[in-house]
């Protein structure tokens, strides 16, 4: 009798890195629940191609009520992986020129909502399972030696700091905790001049997720499994 497939929930899989990650894991035999803000689209097309291994769900991650409703729909499910992929950028402005509403929008989407999602859904993850968030080397204070994209960098640094606090508070839960830097990708966020395509960067990211299963504590790793300086 074959073992049951590993179960994953990928938050933010309508396009780009999240969609390719959901597709990659399903192709490796995982059963993947993947969310998008609206039904249909590319996620549904990939689900149709995976013969039941990829299960679309609808979620606006910035909505606490929608998060609670998703948690209710998933009652009784047991996850081996919860992966939150979410980020926006609103332009390359010096921080003094950033409007308050833009600052609030980026910080909520890139830092607050990912951690709120982990807190809402973490009890679905099995002991020994993994909770992971897509970060970026742009969130590294050590590597911030070039100007530009100050708000995005600040949001990713805030994400990393909040994930550190999360890991400290939940250090005894037996779950692996990861921040993943996938590299600079040609997505709507990364732009057309990025060095990588998602289909190039995501298979190594999936390798890292699988290789780190069961590892203790929190790690900030790149797509090759190498530590990224905080």
* pLDDT 10s digits, 47-76: 999 989 999 999 999 999 999 999 999 999
By mean pLDDT, which of 107-116, 141-150, 159-168 is the weakest? 141-150
Average pLDDT over residues 188-207: 79
The answer to whether the Cα torsion of 60, 64, 65, 69 is positive or negative is positive
Going by pLDDT thresholds of 50, 70 and 90, the confidence category of residue 193 is low
Average pLDDT over residues 202-217: 96
Residue 187 has pLDDT above 60, yes or no: no
Sheet holding 31-36, edge to edge: 54-58, 31-36, 7-11, 79-84, 125-134, 176-181, 218-222
Going by pLDDT thresholds of 50, 70 and 90, the confidence category of residue 91 is confident
Q: What is the dihedral of CA 210, 86, 33, 211, to 10 degrees?
A: 0
Residue 166 has pLDDT above 70, yes or no: yes
With vertex at residue 190, the alpha carbon angle to CA 181 and CA 215, rounded to the nearest 5 degrees, is 15
């Amino acid at each position: 009798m074959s073992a049951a497939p590993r179960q994953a929930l990928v938050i933010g899989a309508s396009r780009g890195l999240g969609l390719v990650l959901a597709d990659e894991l399903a192709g490796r035999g995982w059963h993947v629940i993947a969310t998008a803000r609206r039904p249909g689209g590319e996620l549904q097309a990939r689900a149709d191609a995976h013969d039941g291994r990829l299960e679309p769900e609808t979620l606006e991650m910035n909505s606490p009520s929608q998060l609670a409703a998703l948690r209710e729909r998933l009652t009784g499910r047991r996850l081996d992986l919860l992966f939150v992929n979410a980020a926006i950028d609103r332009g390359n402005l010096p921080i003094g020129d950033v409007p308050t509403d833009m600052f609030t929008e980026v910080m909520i989407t890139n830092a607050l909502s990912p951690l709120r999602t982990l807190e809402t859904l973490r009890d679905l993850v099995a002991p020994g399972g993994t909770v992971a968030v897509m970060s970026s080397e742009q969130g590294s204070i050590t590597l911030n030696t070039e100007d530009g994209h100050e708000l995005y960098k600040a949001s990713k640094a805030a994400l990393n700091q909040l994930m550190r606090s999360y890991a400290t508070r939940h250090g005894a839960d037996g779950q692996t905790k990861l921040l993943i830097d996938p590299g600079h990708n040609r997505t709507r966020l990364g732009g057309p001049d990025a060095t990588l395509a998602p289909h190039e960067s995501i298979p190594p990211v999936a390798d890292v997720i699988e290789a780190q299963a069961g590892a203790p504590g929190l790690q900030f790793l790149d797509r090759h499994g190498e530590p990224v300086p905080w």
